[in-house]
Chains A and B, each alone.
Chain A
């Protein structure tokens, strides 16, 4: 599967993966906790930045902790990962699309729909 590297080199890769993951976690946390960023960026921008930070950390951990990049041909792990990722995209994006489209076809935004449902429930 993976070619054998000297252990010291491995310790270095694990440490790089660990420290960069800690840094990304702290950056994401700082953006949410500090009010400074909320005045500068719109909620949509902050959501996008947080998502990108999470995806960046996913890639780092896949490479440095799960060693996805060290596989030799045929790359079954990588291929099954890409396949699962596509299915995941279909499920997540598809569900959100259907559910939010359903609200807008009822002539309401998702927020209005929730208010309407709460009103119907007597709240």
Chain B
């Protein structure tokens, strides 16, 4: 049987994966607009501090490495899914969840410090754009963590069914995508902000 003769189930799965990929592409455009806004506004500090005075670079590097590692463990979890190994799947997705949660906690701590020091989104155009861009990414991470929690519970209750495997595959695409968005936040917001570019 050739690959063109797919069963109904397989073809539903393929359609879901392609449909989710198309959603990710539209999400790319959402982030692209926020990046463009940030680049236009990043010098409009309204007499307030710029990125070079606000960003705690070692913490940002740790956040970046945490998210990158969680993307890697997510990939390893998907390999365990292919082998239909529940224990390994839960183990690697467990690591993904913990790393993602630490990342989110660090980001919220950073936001909290900024707001407490009077540098909230109301301070300047630069900070409005910064909070919108980085906050939107953080919101995606939060939704991803909720999703992963629900999937872990489903996997625990039902084991590997056609539905759980398809949902986990879609989740892994989402998580890898968020790591790719973070590369650009790391480069264009934090690294270039630190250089006052």
Contacts and interface: CB of A to CB of B under 8 A. Distances in A.
Given A14-B72, A53-B187, A77-B18, A118 B47 contact: yes
Contacts of B173: 66
B76 A11 contact: yes
Contact of A88 (B29, B176, B191, B194): B29
B184 interface: yes
Given A25-B68, A29-B191, A65-B75, A99 B40 contact: yes
Residue in B22, B26, B183, B195 whose Cβ sees the most chain A Cβ within 10 Å: B183
Contact of A54 (B22, B43, B75, B184): B184
Contact of A25 (B64, B184, B196, B197): B64
Size range of the chain A interface in the assembly: 35 or more
Contact of B68 (A4, A18, A83): A18
Nearest to B58: A33
A58 B36 contact: no
B192 interface: yes
Nearest to A98: B40
B124 to A, nearest CB: 10
A108 interface: no
B187 A54 contact: yes
Contacts of B44: 114, 117
Given A58-B180, A76-B18, A92-B36, A110 B43 contact: yes
B187 A51 contact: yes
| 5 nearest CB pairs, A to B | A84-B25, A95-B36, A54-B187, A18-B72, A123-B47
Interface of B: 3, 14, 17-18, 21-22, 25-26, 28-29, 32-33, 35-37, 39-40, 43-44, 46-47, 57, 61, 64-65, 68-69, 71-72, 75-76, 79, 82-83, 173, 176-177, 179-180, 183-184, 186-188, 191-192, 194-197
